Amino acid sequence: MNQSHGSATESNASIRVRALESLLTEKGLIDPKALDALVDTYETKIGPRNGAKVVARAWVDPAYKQRLLTDATAAIKEFGFSGLQGEDMVVVENTAQVHNVVVCTLCSCYPWPTLGLPPVWYKSAPYRARVVSDPRSVLKEFGTELPETVEVRTWDTTAELRYLVLPERPSGTEHLSEAQLADLVTRDSMIGVTKVSAS
With binding defined as CB under 8 A, does residue 130 bind other proteins?
yes
Closest CA relative to residue 78, chosen from 41, 110, 46, 114: 114
Q: Which stretch binds other proteins (CB under 8 A): 2-10, 58-66, 69-77, 144-152?
A: 2-10
The reply to whether 108 belongs to the active site is yes
Q: Does 124 bind other proteins (CB under 8 A)?
A: yes
Among 4, 22, 107, 133, the one annotated catalytic: 107
Closest CA to 56 of 171, 177, 199: 177
| Cα–Cα distance list, 76 to 87, 104, 113 (Å) | 10, 21, 9
Which C-beta is closer to other proteins: that of 36 or that of 61? 36
Strands (E), the chain: 89-93, 98-103, 151-156, 162-166
3-state SS of 50-61?
HHHHHHHHHHHC
In the residue annotation, 11 being an active-site residue is answered as no
Contact status, residue 110 vs residue 117, Cβ threshold 8 Å? yes
- Tell me if 129 contacts other proteins by CB under 8 A: yes
Draw the binding track, 14-53, toward other proteins (x: CB under 8 A; -: no contact): xxxxxxxxxxx--x-xxx--xxx-xx--xx---x------
Q: What minimum distance in Å lies between the beta carbon of 99 and other proteins?
A: 17
Residue 107 is a catalytic residue = yes
| Contact of 146 with 95, CB cutoff 8 Å | no
- Mark whether 22 is an active-site residue: no
Structure letter (DSSP) for residue 43: I
Cα 166 off chain centre by = 12
Residue span binding other proteins (CB under 8 A) among the ranges 69-77, 93-101, 138-146, 174-182? 138-146
Applying CB under 8 A, the residues found at the interface with other proteins are 1, 3-6, 11, 13-24, 27, 29-31, 34-36, 38-39, 42-43, 47, 84, 103, 105-108, 116-117, 119-121, 123-130, 132-133, 138, 141-142, 156, 159-160
Q: Which residues are catalytic?
A: 104, 107-109
